[in-house]
Structure 1
Amino acid sequence: MSKPPAAAAKQLPDSALRFVGFLSFFDRYATPPMFLALSLATALTLSQAVELVAGYSLLYALGQPLWGMASDRFGRLTVLRCALFGVVLGAIASSAFTGFLSLLIARSFTGFMFGALYPTLLTLLGDTRVGLAKARGLSDLQIYSSLGTTLATLVAGALATFVDWRLVFLLPALGAIAALATLRRVAEPLREATARNFKAAFGAENLLLYAAVFLEGGLLMGMLAYVVPALQDAGVGIWISGLLGCGFAGGVIFGARLMRLLVSRFSRTWLIGIGGVVLWASFAPSAFAPSPAAFTCTAFLLGVANAVMHSSMQGWATEVAPQARATTVSLFVFSLFFGASAATYLTADLAEQGNFSRIFGIGFWLSIFLVVAATWLHARWLARQLD
């Protein structure tokens, strides 16, 4: 009679899932708000500071297939622990260097390690939850991830300016140590016993999904990195620009609550379309009437699009190939962050020139193609599932 409680006590708690999601997005979004402060405190140019994020996102993306295969082979908790230990090393190294090349290597390594966290959380939710429980788990993960984005956007620039930029890179190391302490006695969760089929992750429908999320990553995450720098370029102070940039998190929280109403009334295909329209609309103010108010509106609507469209895309990714779920999810996240990295790299020169309205204008036109393509692809996939 005492055995079940003992086993239950070793399961991964929801609080750990939420905290790791929070930590992952805090580190991901801590660098953009301190672009200017970092370039002033070191020998880096603004373009080089932007390239730190591009390198981080690139290694974050490239590590996904490796983490996915490792997760299937060695277990979800093993991957989480190894990655968190690597985060500690990478964060410490990031705070120790000031030269561009050394910082680029340190930040890229840190991105590689952080890349294991969020897809592993998604895989755990796919393994252990179904139906409404999965939807709620994804919603909770979105909310806590947005809180990580919020805190990073709010305090990173101020800490870098008024205290030390190194502190911003060290905080995730402390969080990773705390997470490791929480996980030290947690057992590997039971998951559905399915035959491993690596090839299933590379089916035609999977590849089209990866292509769609590549573009979504460039538009949703790549463009979001420019909201706070655009506000600062428009003359808004560091602290206020960070506060206004938190409109993204407000949009995620609002969108997550909205999803509770929409999910019972609309199919996932419609949710992808609705979220895609919001994404398209988010770029209009900043592209055609750039101002601090417009950039703030863009941040908020990007958050709503993230909660509605991207969470629906995540749910699709956990179901498109159940027999290769970890690999599929890892490739999904790879495509997302590779898209974000590509968008940031390709627009770095425009950011150096302060031409943020043109950057958001590119997002405006490309998002029209994305919403049509993603909605059609999901409708086609769903029709085939019902045949």
Structure 2
Amino acid sequence: MAEQHPQVPAHSVLDSALRFIGFLSFFDRYGTPPMLLALSLGTSLDFSQAVQLVTAYSLFYAIGQPLWGLASDRFGRLLVLRSALIGAGAGALASIMFSDYAPLLIARCLTGLMFGALYPTLLTLLGDTRHGVERARGLSDLQIYSSLGTTLATLSAGALATYLDWRLVFALPALGSVAALYSLRRLREPQHSRSSFSLAAALRPMNLALYAIVFLEGALLMGLLTYVVPALQRSGASIGVAGVLGCGFAVGVILGARLMRRLVARISRTWLIGGGGLLLCGAFLPSALWPSAGSYTATALLLGATNAIMHSSMQGWATDIAPDARATTVSFFVFSLFAGASAATYVSAATAEQGHYAQIFGYGLVFSLVLTVLATTTHALWRKKTPGN
């Protein structure tokens, strides 16, 4: 009798692959900013051109989200994941080969586009293969490994580029892409990962409300996080010390994710969203009222915990709200998150340039209260209209 393959991959194998890919995705995404100076010194680029590489990467990372979601719903999650990993590896290799501005810019655009497919597809796979508490715990684990990737990139990329070679920072994700492809070799497409979806299912009124809420969440959680390290430097911390203290965000994610694994079995998602929103308010409170290195460090730590509790609950909501267009919905969700972060950074740039970080975090406190009310009441309304959630 021919060997029978399960339709849903074994959880242990799938978990290992997803965690590693989550780590890899965030390592590449956060690897370039710490080495901007070394990159400009080691190539023909000036500093502003090096910054443009990061901007272009982020732009293509974001704009590819809806396209990857449509492809994932149409052709399957693992096909998209494998294709993106091949493209990401090729983009990383191309980044090593060139040191002139134009070809390196194209290489980083390609890399951003390809790496942008990974995390939303991981979220969608968890939505396909997990339910209830197990899904929430899977999201928490994914956040831990993604945060570890962010932390390692933040702490090591600058040193690797300065003391060894900037190409090494791009070579590691290329090797990681090969390893990630190998980790997926025995996995088969989850059941129902391809469906006769309708784009309209991802654009229902409640979906649009979710995208609007996560736009605001992205502005507060990711957009204002950008200012923690500069605020620390403004308060008198050295560049190195500010970078280490800023990694309190990653510590907060890890601690919050461990707590989240316990809470999901006892507290509803609506209450987790509300509690996470209050934690977000608490994150901005000390930096708005008593700006100092200590308060900024506390803000980083609590933003990380908010990410683990509130944002992972929002991710779970995104995987549940439209099962007939799950990948497309998750991709719009991620796009809205990054769009909100970019909008917040753009709007607050002039205030940040003047060093008024307490004012920025004060606005964050006010809008966090608004976000908490909107997210909690909207999820409660959706849950009431959708029995079983």
TM-score, normalised with respect to structure 1: 0.88
State how 1:22-61 maps to structure 2 within 5 Å. Answer: 22-34=23-35, 42-45=45-48, 52-61=53-62
Aligned-residue Cα RMSD (Å) equals 2.9
State how far apart, in whole Å, the 1-side matches of 2:195 and 2:9 are.
26
**Matched ranges for 1:98-137 at <5 A:** 104-137=105-138
Q: Distance in 2 between matches of 1:124 and 1:192?
A: 8
Counterpart in the other structure of 2:173: 172
Q: Cα deviation per residue 1:278-301 (whole Å; 9 max; x = unaligned)?
A: 112212333343333222211111
The one-letter code matched in structure 2 to 1:63 is G
- Asked whether 1:220 is paired with 2:221, we answer yes
| Cα displacement string for residues 249-304 of structure 1 (whole angstroms, at most 9, x for unaligned residues) | 11111111222333233221111111111112212333343333222211111110
In structure 1, what is the Cα distance between the partners aligned to 2:95 and 2:101?
Answer: 11
What are the superposed Cα offsets for residues 310-346 of structure 1, whole Å, 9 maximum, x if unpaired? 0100111111111111111111111112222333344
Q: Give the counterpart letter for 1:3 in structure 2.
A: E
Does the aligned pair in 1 maintain the 2:23–2:149 contact within 8 Å? yes
Matches within 5 A, 1:1-387: 3-4=3-4, 13-34=14-35, 42-45=45-48, 52-95=53-96, 104-191=105-192, 195-386=196-387
CA distance in 2, matches of 1:31, 1:251: 23
Which 4+ runs in 1 deviate beyond 6 A?
Answer: 5-11
2:77·2:121 contact (CA, 8 Å) conserved in 1?
yes
What amino acid sits opposite 1:323 in the alignment?
D
- Larger deviation: 66-75 or 91-100? 91-100
Post-superposition Cα deviations, 1:340-371, rounded to whole Å, max 9, x if no partner, equal: 23333444455555554444343233222211
Deviates more, 1:84-93 or 1:196-205: 84-93
1:13 counterpart SS class = helix
Are the aligned partners of 1:286 and 1:294 in contact in 2 as well (CA < 8 Å)? Answer: yes
- Checking the alignment, whether the CA contact within 8 Å between 2:74 and 2:194 is kept in structure 1 is no
Deviations 1:182-233 (A, max 9, x none): 2244332333675423211100000010111111112212222333344345
1:50 touches 1:348 (CA, 8 Å); kept in 2? no
**How many Å apart are 1:21 and its aligned residue?**
0.6
Shift of 1:36: 5.6
Q: Which moved more, 1:259-268 or 1:123-132?
A: 259-268
Distance 1:344 1:113, change over 3 A: farther
Letter in 1 for 2:46: A
Is the CA contact 1:33–1:228 (under 8 Å) kept in the aligned structure 2? no
Distance of 2:30 and 2:271 partners within structure 1: 29
Taking the aligned partners of 1:143 and 1:163, their CA distance within structure 2 comes to 28
Shift in alpha-carbon separation, 1:383–1:189, aligned structure 2, 3 A? closer
For residues 284 and 237 of structure 1, the distance between their equivalents in structure 2, rounded to whole angstroms, comes to: 24
- More displaced 10-residue stretch of structure 1: 121-130 or 169-178: 169-178
Q: Distance in 2 between the 1:87 and 1:194 partners?
A: 26
Looking at structure 2, the residues matched to 78 and 67 of structure 1 have their Cα atoms a distance apart, in angstroms, of 11
Q: CA deviation at 1:158?
A: 2.9
Q: CA deviation at 1:131?
A: 1.9
For residues 228 and 49 of structure 1, do their structure 2 counterparts lie closer, same or farther at Cα, with a shift above 3 Å needed? Answer: farther
- Report the count of equivalent residues: 385
Amino acid in structure 1 at the alignment position of 2:316: G
Distance 2:374 2:383 in 1: 14
Contact 2:77 2:193 in 1 (8 A): no
On the 8 A contact 1:53/1:341 being kept in 2, the answer is no
Which stretch shows the higher mean deviation, 16-25 or 332-341?
332-341
Write the distance in 2 (CA, Å) between the matches of 1:76 and 1:120: 6
Distance 2:374 2:115 in 1: 30
Distance in 2 separating the partners of 1:231 and 1:99: 34
The more displaced of 171-180 and 183-192 is: 183-192
Q: Tell me the amino acid that sits aligned with residue 268 of structure 1.
A: R
Structure 1 pair 196–214 and aligned structure 2 pair: CA distance change class (3 A): same
Q: Aligned pair in 2 of structure 1 residues 138, 60: CA closer, same or farther (>3 Å)?
A: same
Q: In the TM superposition, what is the alpha-carbon distance from 1:171 to its structure 2 partner?
A: 2.1
Residue ranges of structure 1 left out of the alignment (5+ in a row):
none
Would the alpha carbon gap of residues 195 and 144 (structure 1) be closer, same or farther in structure 2, given more than 3 Å must change?
same
Q: Which moved more, 1:97-106 or 1:233-242?
A: 97-106
Q: CA deviation at 1:96?
A: 5.1
- Kept in 2, the 8 Å contact 1:57–1:338? The answer is no
Cα distance in 1 for partners of 2:380, 2:306 equals 19
